[in-house]
């Protein structure tokens, strides 16, 4: 992510967030658990105080990211969005990227990461052509 502000400004915003966080009693940290099953990984995340509509699950390069944006007011009442990462998970080649899915039930986000044929065992008969 590229910021269009100078480094001093970014540090000031982050320092302000720390002060506000301390004065307001802090924020609840996300609770994240990654389970390995026989044919998939299951990432479970509870992110207190954040509406499901604001949570994003994305694959960036070879990483799965679960995050939401924090909003800060900038100059001239502009809104500055800063991502707050709740979980990140490197994706190995054994994960079937195209079939990753997510669901939300009882305040828990579940991300299903199925294995592909590299993990479950790929088998194919190769026909020998005769010339």
Please report whether residue 34 resides in a domain: yes
The CA distance from 64 to 79, in Å, is 26
Report pLDDT for 12: 65
Predicted pLDDT at 121: 65
Residue 39, domain member (yes or no): yes
Q: pLDDT (tens digit, 9 = 90+) per residue, 23-68?
A: 545 567 889 999 999 889 999 999 988 899 999 999 988 899 999 9
Question: Positive or negative, the Cα torsion across 115, 120, 125, 126?
Answer: positive
Angle at the Cα of 1 (from 56 to 11), degrees rounded to 5?
105
In a domain, 19, yes or no: no
Supply 66's token pair: 């679960």
| CATH code where residue 83 lies | 2.60.40.790
Overall average pLDDT of the 104-109 stretch: 92
Residue 17 lies in a domain: no
Q: How much is the pLDDT for 33?
A: 94
**What is the pLDDT, as a whole number, of residue 54?**
92
How many domains are contained in the chain?
A: 1
Q: Is residue 13 part of a domain?
A: no
Could you tell me the residue range of the domain that residue 56 belongs to? 28-118
Structure tokens at 126: 């190769």
- Mean pLDDT (the chain) is 81
pTM value is 0.67
In a domain, 2, yes or no: no
Tell whether 123 is covered by a domain: no
pLDDT at 104: 93
Helix (H/G/I), strand (E/B), else coil: 124:
coil
């Amino acid at each position: 992510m590229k910021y269009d502000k100078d480094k001093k400004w970014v540090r000031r915003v982050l320092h302000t967030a720390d002060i506000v966080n301390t004065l307001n009693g802090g924020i609840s940290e996300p609770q994240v658990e990654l389970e390995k099953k026989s044919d998939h990984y299951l990432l479970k995340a509870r992110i207190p105080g954040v509406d499901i509509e604001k949570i994003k699950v994305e694959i960036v390069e070879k990483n799965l990211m679960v995050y939401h944006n924090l909003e800060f007011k900038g100059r001239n009442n502009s809104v500055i969005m800063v991502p707050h990462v709740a979980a990140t998970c490197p994706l190995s080649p054994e994960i079937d990227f195209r079939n990753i899915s997510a669901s939300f039930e009882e305040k828990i986000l579940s991300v299903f990461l199925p294995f592909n044929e590299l993990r479950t065992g790929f088998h194919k008969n190769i026909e020998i052509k005769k010339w």
